[in-house]
Structure 1
Amino acid sequence: MGEGSIIIKQFRNPAYGLVPLLVFTILLGWVNAGTAMCIALGLSLAGVFLVRKHSRMLYDISAITFSVALLLLLFYHPLDTFGKFVIVEVIFVVALIISRLLRTRVILLLSKNKKPNVRNYLSESFRVAFQVQYAFFFHLLLILVYFTVSTIKTPWISKQEIILIAQLILLTIIFLKVIRFLFLDKKLRKEEWLPVVTESGEVTGKVAKSVTKEMRNKFMHPVVRVALISNGKIYLKKRDASRLLNPGALDYPFEKYMQYNHDINEAVHNTISKEIGTKDIPLRFLLKYIFENSNTKRLIFLYVSIIDDEEKFNKLQLRDGKLWTEKQIEDNRNSHIFSECFELEFEYLKNTVLLNYKLKPAETSC
C-alpha cells in the first residue's frame, strides 16, 4: 500500500465523526452558540455525504444532535452558552445510547454484502461510540456536581474548565484512534491477501488470511500442493504446528495458499523454493479438486515432481522428512497419521504415478 492509501484509510477513521462536536466546543469561546451549532451541523452533513456508510455512524449522530439542538434553540432562548453546551452533550450521549441499542439492526442493514472490511469499520465505529458514551457519562456527572455545588457555594471548577475537559476527552479518543489505524495499517502491510474463488477457479475478490482463519470455511481459496516422488516412494514430513489443517500430520513438504494477483506457476515455484531453496525441479500438473471440512474450504491444485536420480534427489535441501514406500503408507492408512488431503490424493497417485513404476519392468522385458 502506498502513502495515499494510508491517508484514505485515515479519513475513514470513524473517530473523525467526533470532529464536529470538538469544533463546536472550541467555537463556543469565539462565536455565539447558534452559529457554532450551524457550523458543526455543516461539518456533520459533509461527513454524512462524503464518508462511506460503514464509517460514518458518528457523523450521523452528530448531524442528528445539532439538528435537534438547533430546533430546541428556536423554541427555548433563555439558556446561556454553557447551558446550550450541556444540552448538546446530553443529546449526543442519548443518541449514542440509542445507536448502541440498535447495534444488531444497524450491522444487519449495513453489512448485507458481508465484506470483512465493512464489518471491521462498523466494529470500530461502535468501539468509538462506546468509549465516548462512557467518558461523557462521567463528564455529565461532573456537570451535575457543578450545578449542585454552584447553588450553595462557589464551585471548585469553572464552566470553561468543564468544556476544556470535554475537548480533552474528544482529542484523546481521536488521537488514540489515529494511532490505532496506523498500527492496523502497518499490520495489514504484512498481511497475506488470499483470492476468493468459485468452484471453477474464477477469482471473485480477496480477503486477509487472518480474517479467513477466523471465519473458517466461509470463503474458498486456491492452494497448491506438490507431491515429491523418487523411485516409487513419496517424500513426507510432519506439517507445521501452525497449520490450520491437520497440524502435525504427515504430508508433502510443499503446500501454499496462492496469493492474490499471483499466478499458479508462481505459487507452485514459491512453495518449492521456500522448502528447499531452489525452484529448479521438474513439475507436472495432476488434478484440481475441492476440499472442505469444518475449518477450511480449498480449491486444491495438485502437482507432482518426480526425481529418480539419487544424486539429484540428495542435493535437495530436504529436512525432517523421509521417503515412504507404497506398502508403508497402505499399512498406516486410516490411522490418522496422514493429512486428510494426502489420504484423498494417495489413491490417485497409487493408480497413476506409482502404477507406472510397477509397469516399468514389464515394459523393459518386452
Structure 2
Amino acid sequence: MPTDSFIKRVLTNPALGLLPYLVFSILIGQIGTLYAFAVGFGLSVAPLLFRRRKELRILFDISALSFVFAALGLFLIVPSFEPQRSFILAEVTLVFSLIVFRLMRKKLIRKAGKKRMGEKRFYFHESLQVAYQTQYALTFHLIVLLGFRVFFSERYQTIDIILVLNLFQIILATIMVLQALRFRLLSKRLQGEEWLPVINECGVVQGRIAKSVSLSMKNKFLHPIVRIALIYDGMLYLKDRDKSRLLNPERLDYPFETYMKYNHNIGEAVKNAVRKEIETETLPVRFILKYVFENSNTKRLIFLYVAVIKSEKDFDDLSLEGGKLWTTNQIEDNIGSSVFSETFEQEFDYLKNTVLMSDLVIRKSQ
C-alpha cells in the first residue's frame, strides 16, 4: 500500500517499470543502438536481480521481455540498426507486450484473487491500470507518428524526430508523475483511515484492509466484531442503532458494538466498545459466544460478551442514554417484526436459555 515515506512511494510506484524505456529513448541515437538496448534491458531486469517483490516489478518484467523480442527483431527488420526505426520497433513491441498482458488480465486477476494478501492485489491492480494507460497512450503516439510520416515527414524532419522520441518521453514521464501524485493523494487519504484485520473463520489474521474500502466491497472480507449485551434485573438494555451503521441502522440492539482494529487484541476491542458509549472501561464483562454472521452487505466474526449489572446504583452510574430495559416477554412479542437487529435476533434465544435463565435463578435464590 502507499506509505508516508517519499522514498518508499517512489520505489513502490508501478509506473517506475516504464523507466527503462524512458532511459532507452534518451540514449538511442546518442550511443550505439545495441548498447541502448542493453542498458534498457539491464534496467528492466535489475529489480529481478535484486529480488524485488514480484508484484512491484510487473512492468519491469514486461519491459524486459519486450526488449528481448525487439532486439531479436532488429536483426530481421532493421539490420542496419538505424536508431529511429530501431526505436519504433521497440515501441511497437512494448505496446504488443502490454496488449498481451491485458488479454491475460482475467486469468491473472483470478490468480491474484486466490491470494489473501491485500497488498499484493493492490499493486497488481495498480500495475494493470498503468499498463492500460501506457498501452492506449503509446498506441495513440504510433498512430500520430504513422500519419505524420505518411504526409509530412519529408518536409519536417526535425518535427519527425520530436514526434518519435520527445513525445514518447513526455508520455512516459507524464504517466509516471501522475501515478506518483496519485500515490501521494492516496497516502494522505489513508493517514486517518481505520484499518481492519482480514481474518478466516478461525479468527486467524490474514492481512488488513482500510475500513472504507472493505465497507464498499460489502461481504467480501470477514472482520471481527465485539458485541456486549447489558443485563440488569433480568432485562436487556437496548437502544436504536446509529443511522450510520452498515447493518440494520435504527433497529434496536445492544448499546456496545465495535469493529476490532488491526493490531488490537480482543481485550482492547472490548474496552473500545464500552468507551464509545459510556465514560468507564471497567464494565464487568465475560465472553459467551463466537459465531459468523453474513448477509448480502457484511460478513462478521462476532465475539459476544455479556455484562450483568447487580445493583440499581451500578446501573444508574453507567449514565446510559437513548435506550430502555426490555423484558423477555416484550422481546419475544416483537421478534421477527424488524424491530431488532438481525444479529440480536440470532443471539436472543441463546441469551434467554443461558445468561438470562442463570440470572433469574440467582435472583430468586437471594
Shorter-chain TM-score range: 0.7 to 0.9
Aligned to 1:288: 290
Asked if 1:226 is matched to 2:216, the reply is no
What does 1:159-308 align with in structure 2 at a 5 Å threshold? 159-160=161-162, 162-308=164-310
**Counterparts of 2:352 and 2:91, CA distance in 1:** 73
**Counterparts of 1:84 and 1:271, CA distance in 2:** 65
**Counterparts of 1:18 and 1:52, CA distance in 2:** 17
| Structure-2 change in CA distance of 1:361 and 1:104 (3 Å) | closer
**Counterparts of 2:2 and 2:62, CA distance in 1:** 32
Provide Cα deviations, 1:139-181, integer angstroms capped at 9, x if missing partner. Answer: 1122113212335633682413542121111111101111212
1:114 Cα offset (Å) = 4.3
1:230 Cα offset (Å) = 2.5
1:78 Cα offset (Å) = 3.2
**Counterparts of 1:232 and 1:141, CA distance in 2:** 78
What does 1:1-366 align with in structure 2 at a 5 Å threshold? 7-8=7-8, 10-28=10-28, 30-49=30-49, 50-75=51-76, 76-78=78-80, 80-150=82-152, 153-154=155-156, 157-160=159-162, 162-356=164-358, 358-359=360-361, 362-364=364-366
| Structure-2 change in CA distance of 1:103 and 1:289 (3 Å) | closer
Q: TM-score, normalised by structure 1?
A: 0.88
1:130 Cα offset (Å) = 1.1
**Counterparts of 2:105 and 2:87, CA distance in 1:** 27
| Structure-2 change in CA distance of 1:24 and 1:261 (3 Å) | same
Amino acid paired to 2:54: K
Provide Cα deviations, 1:192-235, integer angstroms capped at 9, x if missing partner. Answer: 33334444444444444344435544443322111122223222
1:260 Cα offset (Å) = 2.6
**Counterparts of 1:213 and 1:4, CA distance in 2:** 24
| Structure-2 change in CA distance of 1:319 and 1:361 (3 Å) | closer
Contact kept? 1:54, 1:110, Cα under 8 Å: no
Contact kept? 1:6, 1:185, Cα under 8 Å: no
| Structure-2 change in CA distance of 1:120 and 1:200 (3 Å) | closer
1:326 Cα offset (Å) = 2.3
Task: Provide the identity percentage.
Answer: 48
**Counterparts of 1:182 and 1:216, CA distance in 2:** 26
Amino acid paired to 1:33: T
**Counterparts of 2:112 and 2:294, CA distance in 1:** 29
| Structure-2 change in CA distance of 1:151 and 1:359 (3 Å) | closer
**Counterparts of 1:203 and 1:131, CA distance in 2:** 35
Provide Cα deviations, 1:307-346, integer angstroms capped at 9, x if missing partner. Answer: 3544443343433322222222122111111111111222
1:273 Cα offset (Å) = 0.4
**Counterparts of 2:31 and 2:122, CA distance in 1:** 38
Superposition RMSD on alpha carbons, in Å? 2.8
1:106 Cα offset (Å) = 2.8
**Counterparts of 1:324 and 1:40, CA distance in 2:** 73
User: Which blocks of at least 5 consecutive residues in structure 1 are unaligned?
Assistant: none
Provide Cα deviations, 1:280-322, integer angstroms capped at 9, x if missing partner. Answer: 3222322333333343333322222233544443343433322
Amino acid paired to 1:178: A
1:20 Cα offset (Å) = 0.3
| Structure-2 change in CA distance of 1:296 and 1:333 (3 Å) | same
Contact kept? 1:288, 1:300, Cα under 8 Å: yes
Contact kept? 2:29, 2:83, Cα under 8 Å: no
The SS at the match of 1:301 is strand
User: Which blocks of at least 5 consecutive residues in structure 2 are unaligned?
Assistant: none
Contact kept? 1:15, 1:125, Cα under 8 Å: yes
**Counterparts of 1:278 and 1:68, CA distance in 2:** 68
The SS at the match of 1:306 is strand
1:19 Cα offset (Å) = 0.2
Contact kept? 2:149, 2:160, Cα under 8 Å: no
Contact kept? 1:282, 1:306, Cα under 8 Å: yes
Q: Which segment is superposed worse, 234-243 or 89-98?
A: 234-243
Amino acid paired to 1:69: A
Contact kept? 2:117, 2:207, Cα under 8 Å: no
| Structure-2 change in CA distance of 1:307 and 1:136 (3 Å) | same
